[in-house]
Chains A and B, each alone.
Chain A
Amino acid sequence: MDIFFLRHAILDSIASGVPENTIILLLLLPIIATVIAASRTIIGIRGFGIFLPAALSITFVAIGPLLGIILFIAIVVISTVVRIVTRKLKLKLQYLPRMALILWFVSLGILAIIFTTHINFSIFPVLVLTLLVEDFTKIQLGKSFKTALTLTSQTLILALVSYVFLTYAPFQKLVLLNPEIAMITTFVIDIMLGKYLGLRFMEYYRFRKLIRS
């Protein structure tokens, strides 16, 4: 069998009308996932799991990083303010209705942004961002505000790094031209990451006094 079968298959499907972008995104997605996994097991950046930063980075690709971040921050701020206000007003609401109310405000907020700026963006990225609200609120409830904030900012950093990988043209080209090498390399790195048991970079910092003692 031809070892370049992937490359041929890609050329064939592009020739038959499959959008190039779809194929690039599908090829880059495992790489993004590896990058996110590596930043957790080697560096120690946590973020909200692997799905959220990946989804967020694709959102950034779809609507641009600046608008993406603004929207994300707007959503986080709206949900936090609503939560604090309902608490201050002693509006004792049960959990799910309270979440529904937060989503109500978030929808209204996004509508307000659309009405004032007349920016045209598709619903998919906005939906992903909106669904982040529950995770954020959940973590805010379960942990301290500080933890929620660090996790959110780390998610943003991961998403931005992933965004760079997704949009950097030479990198896209490299992967598109060498899909076999890209896939096999990520596969091997994933296995190696899974076997890594040493300290993470951030743990070297956390335990620096122990190491020095």
Chain B
Amino acid sequence: MKTSSILGLNARGALFTGKYNSRRAKRIADSKIQTDRVLRLAGVPHPKIFKKFTTAQDVFDFEWSNLPDAFALKPSRGLGGDGIIVVKKRTQHTTWMTSSKQIITAEDLKLHSLDILEGAFSMGNDPDVAFIQEYVGRHSAFKKLSFRGTPDIRIIVFNKIPVMAMLRLPTKESGGRANLHQGAIGLGIDIASGITTKAIHHNREIVYKPETTKKLRGIKIPLWNTILKTAVEGQIASGLGYAGVDIVLHPEKGAQIIELNAQPGLSIQLANMEGLKRRLDRVDDINVIDAEHGVKIAKALFASKFVHRVKNSDDVKTINAIEEVKIIDANGKSTIILAKIDTGAWSSTIDINLAKKLGLLRKNKILMTRKKLSSLGEEQRPVISLSFWLAGRKIVTRATVSDRKLLRYPVLIGRIDLQGFLISPTIEKENLVKAKW
């Protein structure tokens, strides 16, 4: 690679952060409180702030026992993730357990808040503001990948275009923090598909997660489109021309912006094995209308070589009106069955004989019985927990059990299990079943 493709500290300062990031925008990015305000006004998703402490009196007046079971206490203008206490669960009325498994009391939290106010963690030790923020847990896609902390996705956004991205996994060494300098792992991400490509640990390339045999490349990050769009929206809202947007995946709420950086680091180039300078030069003078447009441009420009091999990289999958599903039985084995995709039904239904055969209708498996109104009238139906694969996605849900002997298909998939699918009304010929009456 040409050295002119690589972005160094000199060029970053003179050509990008110094040129495109106004003092006002930098102030917003440097203060998490102000970041929160700007994102809130722009309607960009981010973790909620429960309480803000600006004076010592605020700290003493606060009723600490009212805190939820999980939360994070942070300085507004902290550096490198320092001064953050993440609490995962409550052990007693006013004691909690932190993400590093330490017991912490309300008294400890008070002292820590006072430290923050004194400026112990802020740039230049200026007096700071402390705040309590909603806890963002680990998304199921990252459960086996990171140690204790929540992984985040760093996206460099320039001129409303997401230019480069990296997934940062906290390790034991980094103390649960997603900071590369502290020993977190950085994974390069293909912008077009959201699939990880390479991994670095302490600026050296690695293939497996340290001390495991877990491969780090080829991981598909869920909700990739939304993540990119959120990052661009965050950049636009902040007023930064060149921004490092940090995004976390909330297990239920999806992509949320956790932090904005006016001077994002350069190691992202090593994680992707790509030069930032060249990418930035390519998008410098493009006229971008909005976030969605910017994401489209990025996907077209920065797709990696393998992208044509990735099927259905979109977040929405198209399925037919009749689809094969693989139902997982009581022994964990899967059986292939034809299912009717029915957007007219609320929940999914499975035939009583099939459920019995798969061992899903034993007494201890029945969650409850419910009155159900169907085209056949009102009846009491048992509800069981059901796991199945549909078009490559695993769906874990509750299904009602009914006698479908006379119906064409033994399984019906209802609306609540069809999130993220697009249904085509066609039925493939071999899947067509004749009426049984």
B203 at the interface (CB under 8 A from A): yes
- Roughly how many angstroms separate A136 CA and B156 CA in the complex, as a whole number? 31
- Roughly how many angstroms separate A142 CA and B83 CA in the complex, as a whole number? 8
Closest to B6 in A: A207
The prevalent SS among residues of A at the interface is helix
- Roughly how many angstroms separate A141 CA and B124 CA in the complex, as a whole number? 11
Closest to B179 in A: A144
**Which among B9, B14, B111, B270 has the highest number of chain A CB atoms within 10 Å?**
B9
Closest to A90 in B: B108
Please determine whether B10 and A200 come into contact, CB atoms closer than 8 angstroms. yes
**A182: shortest Cβ distance to chain B, in Å?**
25
B275 at the interface (CB under 8 A from A): yes
From B14, B111, B270, B275, contact of A197 by CB (8 A) = B14
B22 at the interface (CB under 8 A from A): no
B121 at the interface (CB under 8 A from A): yes
Find chain A residues with CB under 8 A from B1 CB.
210-213
How many residues of chain A get a CB closer than 8 Å to chain B's CBs? 27
Can you list, as one digit per residue, whether each of B193-234 has a CB less than 8 Å from chain A (1) or not (0)?
000000000010100000000000000000000000000000
- Roughly how many angstroms separate A147 CA and B265 CA in the complex, as a whole number? 15
**B95: shortest Cβ distance to chain A, in Å?**
16
Find chain B residues with CB under 8 A from A134 CB.
125
A118 at the interface (CB under 8 A from B): no
Q: In residues 86-102 of chain A, which contact B (Cβ within 8 Å)?
A: 92, 94-96
Please determine whether B10 and A197 come into contact, CB atoms closer than 8 angstroms. yes
Which of these binds chain A: B39-47, B112-120, B398-406, B409-417?
B112-120
Please determine whether B111 and A200 come into contact, CB atoms closer than 8 angstroms. no
Please determine whether A144 and B182 come into contact, CB atoms closer than 8 angstroms. yes
Please determine whether B79 and A142 come into contact, CB atoms closer than 8 angstroms. yes
From B6, B10, B118, contact of A211 by CB (8 A) = B6
Can you list, as one digit per residue, whether each of A198-213 has a CB less than 8 Å from chain B (1) or not (0)?
1110011011011111
* With A197-B14, A210-B269, A210-B275: A94-B118 Cβ-Cβ less than 8 Å: yes
- Roughly how many angstroms separate A141 CA and B78 CA in the complex, as a whole number? 10
From B8, B118, B181, contact of A203 by CB (8 A) = B8
**A41: shortest Cβ distance to chain B, in Å?**
6
**B117: shortest Cβ distance to chain A, in Å?**
9
Find chain A residues with CB under 8 A from B9 CB.
44, 200, 203
Please determine whether A197 and B79 come into contact, CB atoms closer than 8 angstroms. no
Please determine whether A199 and B8 come into contact, CB atoms closer than 8 angstroms. yes
- Roughly how many angstroms separate A212 CA and B273 CA in the complex, as a whole number? 10
Please determine whether B10 and A95 come into contact, CB atoms closer than 8 angstroms. no
- Roughly how many angstroms separate A158 CA and B258 CA in the complex, as a whole number? 37
B3 at the interface (CB under 8 A from A): yes
**B81: shortest Cβ distance to chain A, in Å?**
10
Please determine whether A204 and B3 come into contact, CB atoms closer than 8 angstroms. yes
* With A200-B10, A210-B273: A138-B125 Cβ-Cβ less than 8 Å: yes
- Roughly how many angstroms separate A197 CA and B280 CA in the complex, as a whole number? 15
* With A147-B181, A207-B269: A95-B120 Cβ-Cβ less than 8 Å: yes
Please determine whether B115 and A210 come into contact, CB atoms closer than 8 angstroms. no
Please determine whether A142 and B273 come into contact, CB atoms closer than 8 angstroms. no
- Roughly how many angstroms separate A94 CA and B56 CA in the complex, as a whole number? 12
Q: In residues 24-64 of chain B, which contact A (Cβ within 8 Å)?
A: none
Please determine whether A95 and B79 come into contact, CB atoms closer than 8 angstroms. no
From A44, A95, A143, contact of B181 by CB (8 A) = A143
Can you list, as one digit per residue, whether each of B105-142 has a CB less than 8 Å from chain A (1) or not (0)?
00010010011001111011100000000000000000
Query: 22 A–B contact pairs at CB < 8 A?
Result: A95-B118, A95-B119, A141-B82, A142-B79, A142-B80, A143-B80, A144-B182, A147-B181, A196-B10, A197-B8, A197-B10, A197-B11, A197-B14, A199-B6, A200-B8, A203-B6, A203-B9, A206-B203, A206-B270, A209-B270, A209-B273, A210-B274
| A142-B121, A144-B182 given; 19 more Cβ-contact pairs under 8 Å | A94-B111, A95-B120, A95-B125, A138-B125, A142-B80, A144-B181, A197-B8, A198-B8, A198-B10, A199-B3, A199-B6, A203-B9, A204-B3, A206-B270, A209-B270, A210-B1, A210-B6, A211-B6, A212-B1
User: Which of B's residues lie within 8 Å of A, judged by CB?
Assistant: 1, 3, 6, 8-11, 14-15, 79-80, 82, 108, 111, 114-115, 118-121, 123-125, 181-182, 203, 205, 266, 269-270, 273-275
Interchain residue pairs A-B with the least CB separation, the first 7: A95-B118, A142-B79, A95-B120, A199-B8, A197-B11, A203-B8, A92-B111
User: Which of A's residues lie within 8 Å of B, judged by CB?
Assistant: 41, 44, 92, 94-96, 134, 138, 141-144, 147, 196-200, 203-204, 206-207, 209-213
